[in-house]
Chain A
Amino acid sequence: MSDELHSAAIPSSGGVARWLPWALLVALALLPVVGAQLGLDYYVGFVRRMLIVMIAATSLNFILGYGGMAALGHAGFIGVGAYTVVALVDAGVSSAWTAWGAAVLVSGAFAALIGAVSLRTRGVYFLMITLAFAQMLYYLAVSLSAYGGDDGYGLYSPLELGAGRTTGDAALFFWVVLAIAALVFSFASRAAVSRFGHALTGIRDNETRMEALGYPVYRLKLAAFTGAGALAGLAGALLASHNNFVSPSTMHWTESATLLVMVVLGGLGRRWGAVLGVAVWLVLSEVLKLYTEYWHWPLGLMLIAVVFAAPRGLAGLFDDRSSA
């Protein structure tokens, strides 16, 4: 795979880059309070969902953008996380932290197993083998009658967050999601510029060279893939609590494809790429659906436009502007 779409994030200059994330964080944290005042409850929920999808997209951006591993089965891990929550709730667990923690571990384990096999392949073969595993998980969930199969599984009582509060508390759950998303985001940003991240970028650009330099290429890639799978599982667990419902459609290959599209749209291997891609894609599809039943083609047109006009993604456009 050539790497015109990849390019390491250019360290942004100036103070804007330093205070903007914090300003954004504060603005988002105020949203539930302001939203409740203005009757914008729906948008609070919408942003909460956006934040959860951003966690999944950030994890994909990490392996795809920095690691060059084009996985088309990421929704499979989201599904594993969600179904871990379902399995635990079904077994009587009521603590959110236990359920979410377990989701991270289980999906991490799945990712380690799937990655161990899949990482023997490259490029399109890797794309397809990850898709194959996700499809297996999808069909497994469809025929799992204990958890509702294709009908899905409703989580009727919210999970406990401690101190008598639950995920049913919309504002509190929003803040929890925001905090987790911020942590994941800063963790991913740091990992990208750590020695691990640099090694990964090196592998992406020239695997043979890195191998010759003595890097444990396979193990590094597997570690990244496992971590990304675990984070996707976390997103799946949060999504389960957000929707109070889990169904196999979460794992359908089109969901994996959409996630991939959002990451590329935003800008591969860019710090803000995944976040930007998710925001633009979700807001656009939400708005377009309001106005027309033909809401797919403008999105399609946008994708083609981005591939040709902004090959480095939307985040790349910002770089051009600030450097110009």
Chain B
Amino acid sequence: MDPIFVFEQLLNGLGFGLMLFLLAAGLTLVFGIMDTMNLAHGSLYMAGAYVAARVHEASGSFVGAVLVAVAATVLVAFVLELLIVKRLYARDHLAQVIATFGVILIADDAVKAIWGPSPVMATTPAALAGPVQLLPELPYPAYRLVLLAVGLLVAVGLYVLVNHTRVGMLVRAGASNRKMAEFMGVRVGRVFSFVFALGAALAALAGALMGPISAVQIGMGEAILIPALVVIVIGGIGSVRGAFVAALLVGLVDTAGRAFLPPLLRSVLPPALAADLGPAFAGIAMYVLMAAVLILKPAGLFPARA
């Protein structure tokens, strides 16, 4: 197989993985630290995408649009935490799932009421709209390279934040043993609010950045929520490092499944059977990966809690 093609697919896999990481990082932080399953994380992603798309169209500034989207979503998240999520921290996962599922239902109808049922336009900033010549034989979308860079930056930023700052220490303390942290005088409520806002900001960033290469429409949050959940479960809930590794793994496996599995099957199976099975296998690759990981390590690759 052409090495450039393989390299390109590798890059694609990493890119998709990093996009999932942006969403999964917030999800896993909230989950790991507050022990709270927030299904409405996908709705925050949707909010980020919508606000960014509208502001970008109105102002013409993409960077400005992303910043406004993040700010607006953090504001929404602040209200959401105050009204609902805060009261869920002490509840069990099932109560959290049900209540945040309720939030999804409300959010989807709210978006429909504000922006209508049709998808809205989210354009790629003109400077990044075309491809750049990465190798003589390989043009690559400039915008995707930016996504790769942002994804990596966020990963590094989170690493520094969690491991080398005071806030990170509190966060880690909260994640590994909430009771102990409280006992030591950590103002857990504040840490929680901060983490929830951070998660929302990351979700909004992911949504705003994904807008130009995907459909900005109602339900977009639910569609990407499942892969993001798969990522945090594979990584071990609460572990940012786990989410990073798992996101890249899922991105690579999913891309490889789509790029290499169908031709492989075609070379070993009768064409009709291969045509049925290839895409089916490619579609479930990430779920098979998750099941396999959980069979070997029932608490994910990097369990955050003992």
Contacts and interface: CB of A to CB of B under 8 A. Distances in A.
A302 B106 CA distance: 10
A308 to B, nearest CB: 6
A301 B279 contact: no
Contact of A135 (B88, B104, B109, B284): B284
Contacts of B87: 308
Interface in B72-118: 84, 87-88, 91-95, 97-99, 101-106, 108-110, 112-113
A261 interface: yes
A264 interface: yes
Interface string A267-298: 01000000000000000000000000010110
A129 B98 contact: no
A300 B104 CA distance: 7
A297 B107 CA distance: 8
B262 to A, nearest CB: 12
A117 B291 CA distance: 8
Contacts of A301: 102, 106
A132 B94 contact: no
Per DSSP, are chain A's interface residues mostly helix, strand or loop, or mixed?
helix
Given A264-B98, A299-B102, A143 B109 contact: no
A5 interface: yes
B36 to A, nearest CB: 11
A264 B100 CA distance: 13
A303 B298 CA distance: 31
B300 A125 contact: yes
Contacts of B237: 124-125
A253 interface: yes
A140 B112 CA distance: 32
Contacts of B233: 124-125, 128-129
Contact of A264 (B88, B94, B288, B290): B94
A123 to B, nearest CB: 7
A143 to B, nearest CB: 4
Interface string A37-68: 00000000000000000000000000010000
Contact of A303 (B105, B283, B294, B299): B105
B109 A132 contact: no
A253 B287 CA distance: 13
Contact of B298 (A125, A296, A302): A125
B306 interface: no
A163 interface: no
Given A2-B92, A264-B94, A120 B294 contact: yes
A296 B101 contact: no
B276 interface: yes
Interface string A120-163: 11111101110111011001101111000000000000000000
A183 interface: no
Interface in B251-306: 276-277, 279-280, 283-284, 287-288, 290-291, 294-295, 298-300
Nearest to A123: B93
B134 interface: no
25 contacts: A121-B294, A123-B93, A124-B31, A124-B93, A125-B299, A128-B294, A129-B233, A131-B229, A135-B226, A140-B284, A261-B98, A264-B94, A294-B113, A296-B108, A296-B109, A297-B110, A299-B102, A299-B105, A300-B101, A300-B104, A300-B106, A301-B106, A304-B102, A307-B91, A311-B95
Interface of A: 1-5, 64, 70, 117, 120-125, 127-129, 131-133, 135-136, 139-140, 142-145, 253-254, 257, 260-261, 264-265, 268, 294, 296-297, 299-304, 306-308, 311
